Amino acid sequence: MSFYDASVPAFLQILGSLSGILAKAEAHCAAKNIQPDVLLSARLYPDMLPLSKQIQLACDFSAKGCARLAHVDVPSTPDTEKTFGELRQRLANTIDYIKKFTPAQFEGGNSKEVTFPIGADKTLTLKGQEFLNRFAFPNFYFHASIAHGILRHNGVEIGKRDFLGVA
């Protein structure tokens, strides 16, 4: 399996599923007469980030992860989304961005060094495979899982199949 095949399809699968669960969350709000801001600002615990930020971070870890693995300029996307529609558009834009990568851009990426920020004033350098497995994927799946958990905790009827994108 190529390095591209090990990374890009995994990101695309979950980004697509996040779009689907956001659509279900929006429908849930309409059906239950809940203001969308209630879910968009919901957190699993007070010291955790809200749903909207979880979606933004899942987009960031996938897009920036691919850019770093392909050794191209890392995109900068301001976090301005305030509605379900805007978050779904961010997911769609991220999917479109990731789909533009080619397998050739990832050739040898598993062993090339990737340097990335960890905090405001520190960086870390890992080989591509380590970067994907120890940083990009764990962070991406964490934020996607938390987004799913926030919605499920708040009564949106979604399950594992929705998370996996096979519902």
Quick: pLDDT tens for 84-118: 999 999 999 999 999 999 999 999 988 999 999 99
C-alpha neighbours within 13 Å on the C-beta side of residue 38: 13
Q: b/e for 53-84, b at 16 or more Cβ within 10 A?
A: bbbbbbbbbbbbbbbbbbeeeeeeeeeebeeb
- Can you tell me the distance from the alpha carbon of 103 to that of 53, in angstroms, rounded to the nearest whole number? 30
**Which CA distances in Å does 15 have to 70, 91, 100, 122, 126?**
19, 6, 15, 28, 25
Stretch 127-141: mean pLDDT: 97
Report the predicted TM-score, pTM, of the whole model to 2 decimal places.
Answer: 0.96
- Number of separate helices (H) and strands (E) present in the chain: 8, 2
Task: Report the share of the chain in percent with pLDDT over 70.
Answer: 99
Given a cut of 90, is residue 154 above it in pLDDT? yes
Confidence class for position 1, pLDDT limits 50, 70, 90:
confident
Q: Which domain holds residue 29?
A: 3-164
Stretch 5-23: mean pLDDT: 97
Query: How many domains is the chain built from?
Result: 1
Label residue 27 left, alpha or beta by phi (over 0 means left) and psi (-120 to 50 means alpha): alpha
User: Is residue 114 classed as helix, strand or coil in its secondary structure?
Assistant: strand
Locate 13 and state its tokens.
Answer: 């699968």
Locate 82 and state its tokens.
Answer: 């305030």
Stretch 139-146: mean pLDDT: 98
Task: Report the share of the chain in percent with pLDDT over 90.
Answer: 93
**pLDDT (0 to 100) of residue 167:** 59
Closest listed residue to residue 160, CA positions, set 14, 42, 30: 14
Stretch 57-68: mean pLDDT: 97
Q: What is the CA radius of gyration of the chain?
A: 16
- Within the chain, strands assigned E span 113-117, 123-127
- CATH code, domain with 43: 1.20.120.450
Locate 130 and state its tokens.
Answer: 């380590």
